[in-house]
Every structure is written in C-alpha cells, then in structure tokens.
Amino acid sequence: MTELSTATYSVAGGYDIRIAEAGAGPVVVFIHGSGPGASGASNFRDNWPVFVEAGYRVILPDLIGYGASSKPEGIDYTLQLFTDTLYEALQAHGVKKASLIGNSLGGGVAIQMTLDHPEMAEKLVLMAPGCIEEQASYFTMPGIAKMVSGFGSPDFNLDEQRRLVSNLVHPSFAPKIPDALVQERFAVARTQPKDVLARMRTPNLGPRLGELGQPILVLWGLQDEFCPESGARHFLTAGCDVRTMTFNHVGHWVQVERADEFNRHSIEFLRG
C-alpha cells in the first residue's frame, strides 16, 4: 500500500499544521470534519488510496485543533481560523491549485477557502457540508448534541469514542466501524481541549453560495443527524454549477458508509 509522507508547517499565531500526502498528478485536498479525534488520515482512510491509484496527488491536512496539528486552549475556533491556517500551510507545501474535498466542517472550510481564494479551487466535492445554516440550528441536531455532551468528561474512554463514532453513521453501518479507526481517533481525542468543540464559531455561508463559480458535487446521507440533508437544496436554489446526490440508509459519513460509490462518483466528477 502507498505510504503517506508528512510535513509540519508553522503558520500565523505560532501554530503548527500537519500535512500528509501521497501520489502524483492533479492535486486534491481532503479536508476532514469536526468531532473528537478527527484527522485527515482517519476520516478518509478508505478514500485516499483509491485517489492515488487513479492518478491524483492527495493532500491530507489536519486542521488546527485536530490530528497532529496544534491544539491551542483558550481561543475561539472560528471558521476563518481553520481556513486561514490551512491555506497558509497549503501555500507553504506548494499547493497553488487544487480540487477541494470536504466533509461536514471540512466542507465549510472548503467553501470559505474558495470564497477567499477563488483562483486556488478548481472543483469542490462536499459531503454534508457545514456552515450553510446558522450555527444554532446545527446544535439542535441530535448527533451534535450527543457529540458535545460526551466529549471532554473524565469518563471519556475507548467505549465512549466508539459510541460517538457510531453516531456519525447509519445504525446498520455501526457494527462495521473498524476497531483501528476508533483507536486512532481516541488517541487524538485524548490530546484535544474541550474548546475545540465548545468554542467553535461558524458563520452561515448559505447566502454566499451563489458566489461559487466552480463545479460542485454535493453528496448527502438521508439519515444524517448532524447536518440536515435539506442543505443540499441551498446549492440548487443559489444557482450553483452543482450536481447533488443523496443516499438512503446513510448517516453523516458518505465517504465511509458508501466508500466505493463515493470514490467512483467523485473521481468521475473530477475527471469530467
């Protein structure tokens, strides 16, 4: 199997951002979502090797507060902070133009980065992207309520990590979540401050979707308990150059729960 190489870049504020990569060819940047223990490699473990095999240079960053990147305490984790620190690290890594693939919070980061730096983004693949509703509406979603309530307590353990990861997927898929993924996320979660979730601040970019001129593929699980599937229609009503796909019996992790279909449809879209 192809190995990932890693590099760490110091960005504004004195923070470090870790980037992993593999492959050669057109660049795709996978931007992971939120949640205890999230990282680029774990969120896309069933995806990036297929993209490498298909002839892409895959970039897997860890957002600030996640993976092997800096995890500062006592700050607000704003969408602009996630976006600016990632953009600076990508520039230092030599990424000048890329297609952006983001799920959940990572979808919001991909949208914000495209709005801020439209010359960089070629195409967007978004899986249940966040930041297209008011933040308060997301916190009424049952999955997010469970995630925030469980993380950071003294009793947080491996079983609790599995429960939180299981909330991300449709109940029928939960038994298929590999132990290795749970353990990898647990190791990261133990190093994360509660501020990563408690002080996350995201704007509603929904009114700005019409500014996106790039081709967009949006994929969404109908049983998503984190980001309402109705969000896919925002791209349609905004007049974006968009194709939307929904999946039944799928939760918040299309790229995990339907990995083969996600890989096939996304690569076809990028090549089109």
Q: How far apart are CA 160 and CA 240, in angstroms?
A: 40
In a 13 Å sphere around the CA of 229, the CA atoms on its Cβ side amount to 18
Q: Are 79 and 130 in contact (CB under 8 A)?
A: no
Q: Which listed residue (32, 170, 234, 252) is catalytic?
A: 252
Strands annotated E in the chain: 5-11, 15-22, 27-31, 57-61, 77-78, 98-103, 121-127, 200-201, 216-221, 242-247
252 tagged catalytic:
yes
- Residue with token string 């990572």: 106
Structure tokens at 272: 């089109």
Q: Are 98 and 60 in contact (CB under 8 A)?
A: no
What amino acid positions are annotated as catalytic residues?
252
